[in-house]
Structure 1
Amino acid sequence: MIYTRKSDVTAGRVARSVGKPHATILDQHEILALGAEWEELAAHAVQENPYYTRRYVTAQLAYIERRPVQALAVWQDHKLIAFLPFVKDPWRWGGIVYVNKSWSTPYTTLSVPLIDARFAQSASTALLSAMASGLTGSSTWLLLDVTLKGSAFRHLHQAQTTLDLRSKTFDIFERATLSRSGTFDEHLKTHLSKNRRKSLNRNRRRLEEAGPLSLETYTEGEKLEEALQHFLRLEQSGWKGRSGTALASTPQTRAFAEMAFGNQPIGSPTNHTTETAKYLETRIDLLMLNDQPIAASVSVQAGRTAFTLKSAFDESYRHQSPGLLLEEAIIRSFLNGNWADRLDSAADAGHVLETLWNGTITVGDVLLTASQSNAKFLFGAFTFLETTRRMARQTMKQALRSLRR
Structure 2
Amino acid sequence: MNRTARAARGVSRPSIFPFGDARLGSVTVIDTIEGVEHHREALEHLAENAAHPNPFYESWYLLPLLKASKSKQRLRFLLVHGTDDSGSEAPETLIGFFPFEQTLLHPLCPVRCLRPWQDAYRWTLRRTPLLRYGAVGNSLAALGRWLLARQHPPTIILFKDLPGDSEILRAAECWLTEDHRLCHVHDVRESHLYRRQTDAETYFARVLSGKRRRHLRRLRRLLEDLGPVRVADLDRSDDVDRLFDEFISLEFSQWKGKIGTSMASMPDGAAIAKDILKEAHRRKRLSLLTLRVGDRLVAARSAFLAPPGCFGFKMAYDESPPYARCGPGFLLDLEGIHRLHDDADLLGTGIEWLDSCAVKTAALPLSMRTEALLLHRYMVTARGGIGEIVTRRFPKVMQALPWRIRRLSAF
TM-score range, shorter chain: 0.7 to 0.9
1:110 correspondence with 2:130: no
1:44 correspondence with 2:49: yes
Percent identity among equivalent residues?
22
What letter is aligned with 1:388? V
Q: TM-score, normalised by structure 1?
A: 0.83
Pick which of 139-148 and 345-354 moved more.
Answer: 139-148
1:62 correspondence with 2:67: yes
Task: State the distance in 1 between where 2:310 and 2:200 align.
Answer: 18
Q: Which runs of 5+ in 2 are unaligned?
A: 1-8, 12-22, 83-90
Q: Specify the alignment match of 2:375 in structure 1.
A: 363
1:209 Cα deviation (Å)?
2.0
Report if aligned partners of 2:136, 2:167 keep a CA contact under 8 Å in 1: no
Task: State the distance in 1 between where 2:193 and 2:24 align.
Answer: 39
Tell me how many residue pairs correspond in the alignment. 367
1:305 to 294, 303, 309: 309
Specify whether residues 281 and 183 from structure 1 end up closer, same or farther in structure 2 by C-alpha distance, changes over 3 A only. same
RMSD: 2.7
Q: Specify the alignment match of 1:191 in structure 2.
A: 207
Pick which of 93-102 and 35-44 moved more.
Answer: 93-102
Q: Specify the alignment match of 1:394 in structure 2.
A: 403
Q: Specify the alignment match of 1:348 in structure 2.
A: 359
Specify whether residues 206 and 145 from structure 1 end up closer, same or farther in structure 2 by C-alpha distance, changes over 3 A only. same
1:20 Cα deviation (Å)?
5.2
1:374 correspondence with 2:384: yes
2:37 to 23, 32, 46: 32
SS in 1 for 2:52: coil
Report if aligned partners of 2:398, 2:406 keep a CA contact under 8 Å in 1: no
1:131 Cα deviation (Å)?
3.0
Task: State the distance in 2 between where 1:264 and 1:193 align.
Answer: 36
2:103 to 89, 95, 100: 89
1:293 Cα deviation (Å)?
1.6
Pick which of 351-360 and 129-138 moved more.
Answer: 129-138
SS in 2 for 1:97: strand
Report if aligned partners of 1:74, 1:80 keep a CA contact under 8 Å in 2: yes
Report if aligned partners of 1:169, 1:364 keep a CA contact under 8 Å in 2: yes
1:166 correspondence with 2:183: yes
Offset from partner CA, 1:164-202 (integer Å, 9 cap, x none):
2222123x2321101111211222222112222112101
Task: State the distance in 2 between where 1:380 and 1:137 align.
Answer: 14
Task: State the distance in 2 between where 1:193 and 1:334 align.
Answer: 20
Report if aligned partners of 2:233, 2:287 keep a CA contact under 8 Å in 1: yes
1:363 Cα deviation (Å)?
1.5
Q: Specify the alignment match of 1:243 in structure 2.
A: 259
Specify whether residues 254 and 32 from structure 1 end up closer, same or farther in structure 2 by C-alpha distance, changes over 3 A only. same
1:334 correspondence with 2:344: no
Specify whether residues 311 and 357 from structure 1 end up closer, same or farther in structure 2 by C-alpha distance, changes over 3 A only. same
Report if aligned partners of 1:261, 1:300 keep a CA contact under 8 Å in 2: no
Pick which of 221-230 and 24-33 moved more.
Answer: 221-230
Q: Specify the alignment match of 1:212 in structure 2.
A: 228
Report if aligned partners of 2:74, 2:103 keep a CA contact under 8 Å in 1: no
What letter is aligned with 1:246? S
What letter is aligned with 1:292? R
SS in 1 for 2:268: helix
Q: Specify the alignment match of 2:4 in structure 1.
A: none
Report if aligned partners of 2:24, 2:138 keep a CA contact under 8 Å in 1: no
Q: Specify the alignment match of 2:88 in structure 1.
A: none
Correspondence list, 1:128-207, <5 A: 128-134=144-150, 137-164=153-180, 165-170=182-187, 172-207=188-223
Pick which of 173-182 and 146-155 moved more.
Answer: 146-155
Report if aligned partners of 2:60, 2:279 keep a CA contact under 8 Å in 1: no
Specify whether residues 155 and 146 from structure 1 end up closer, same or farther in structure 2 by C-alpha distance, changes over 3 A only. same
SS in 1 for 2:291: strand
1:56 Cα deviation (Å)?
1.3
Task: State the distance in 2 between where 1:355 and 1:264 align.
Answer: 28
Q: Specify the alignment match of 1:122 in structure 2.
A: 138
1:228 correspondence with 2:244: yes
Report if aligned partners of 2:196, 2:203 keep a CA contact under 8 Å in 1: no
Q: TM-score, normalised by structure 2?
A: 0.81
1:385 correspondence with 2:394: yes
1:71 Cα deviation (Å)?
0.5
Report if aligned partners of 1:227, 1:284 keep a CA contact under 8 Å in 2: no
Specify whether residues 20 and 197 from structure 1 end up closer, same or farther in structure 2 by C-alpha distance, changes over 3 A only. closer
SS in 1 for 2:198: coil
Offset from partner CA, 1:197-250 (integer Å, 9 cap, x none):
112101111111222212111165754443322210110111111222210123
1:314 Cα deviation (Å)?
1.0
Report if aligned partners of 1:284, 1:298 keep a CA contact under 8 Å in 2: yes
